[in-house]
Amino acid sequence: MEPFSSSEEREQKTEAPVVHKRHGRVAAFTFMLLTLFSGFIGGLFAPRAEQYLSVYFPVLEQEKGAEKQSATMVFTEENVVADLVAKNSPGVVSIVISKDVPKVRSNGNPFGFPFFSPFNAPERSTETEKQRVGSGSGFFVSNDGLIVTNKHVVVDEQAEYTVILADGSEHVAAVLARDPSNDIAVIKIDGADFPSLSLGDSDTIRVGETIIAIGNPLGEFENSVSRGIVSGLKRNLQAGNGRGDSEQLSDIIQVDAAINPGNSGGPLFSLDGKVVGVNVAMAQDATSIGFALPVNQVKRIVEQVRTTGKISFPYMGVRSMTLNDALKKKTNLPFNYGALVVRGDTVTDFAVVPGSPADKAGIVENDIILEINGEKVDEKHGLIFYMGKHNVGEEVTVKLWHKGETKEVKVKLEERQS
């Protein structure tokens, strides 16, 4: 039996699906047209949209890249610093200064009172005992035990110096040389196969560059590491040791890494792991202001000691005073810079030493030495400074004011005899 009772009903039932299929084809066709049209429009405007986004929304992508790059740089630099310290710390040493000092005995206080009383007044003895009186830092520059430090660390000729290595071993040190024109000294311990450090080129460092200092701050925290940047170059200052001694330091490096008492003589590293300076001083009543001698001032000294066992000091053989504005006015001279050649207080204090390099070059009393090899002689860069830049046997060009005229002479430097 058929499911419908009449032909009319059957016709109606069979026509409905046909109408539905027709609408489906129309919808599908319409969808296809819209898709093609959208693709066509998108193809036309996509380059414009990309250009629009690149102009108005580049910051998000740049910020993402900058954050990623910054994180990578920080991570990389931290690894570089850690690796540098691990590699070079064994080449850094602590220096202990010991000296015989009078014993101080106390009579004791039977009552245990904390305040002063006749019972606990100290009594100075005629006996002496060896005590630790100071400390500093240094670093190996040769495998056979040559060590660079500051002159002010080992300036006391009556003291004894002990070098403590990173492994805790102690070695008696001998002072080989103290440079009179720079705060540099070279000492030596016996032995072999010591971990020497590589010396870099201090002329290539730049302000803002990261540097690392390693030393023995306060004489208690050996192989301590501090990190900072180069804050300034070619600084000049008068440095004192607190005992009345002072020295003019020229062309030195300013850093913001922590430099404390006891750091003196320790190395200053660039990130390539080479020594670019020797830590020498800190500013009083200030924070994050430290100073280091450029390593290029040290290389000549190290090479001399390595080859001859001593420092040879070149000299010209003149006694002089450095001119400035006040002396120019007082002496009525035409220059406020230069070294005026003058005699001393006694008849034997010659202005020009007989037979000296200056004497051979024709320099006489009242001449003014204006320049050495084209560089001006002034209060910041005196004759001693320029002598420290040259070796015995070198010839320098001296510009001077001689009897009212300016001229140049050649002076061959000789070794100063102490």
Active site amino acids: 152, 183, 264
CA atoms within 13 A on the CB side of 321: 13
What angle (nearest 5°) sits at the alpha carbon of residue 154, between those of residues 152 and 155? 60
* CA atoms of 251 and 389, how far apart (whole Å): 12
Tokens of 148: 């660079």
Place of tokens 């419908």: 4
Q: How many residues does the chain have?
A: 418
What angle (nearest 5°) sits at the alpha carbon of residue 292, between those of residues 286 and 295? 170
* CA atoms of 289 and 258, how far apart (whole Å): 8
- Number of helices (H), then strands (E), in the chain: 6, 20
The CA dihedral of 334, 340, 341, 342, to the nearest 10 degrees, is 100
DSSP SS3 for 32: helix
DSSP SS3 for 129: strand
One DSSP character per residue, 58-70 reads HHHHHHHHHHHHH
Tell which residue, 418, 137, 417, has the closest CA to residue 275.
Answer: 137
* CA atoms of 137 and 148, how far apart (whole Å): 9
Q: Residue 185 in contact with residue 179, Cβ under 8 Å?
A: yes
Tokens of 182: 């720079």
DSSP SS3 for 407: strand
Place of tokens 């004489």: 219
Tokens of 371: 């320049």
Q: Which are the contacts of 244, defined by CB distance < 8 A and separation ≥ 6?
A: none
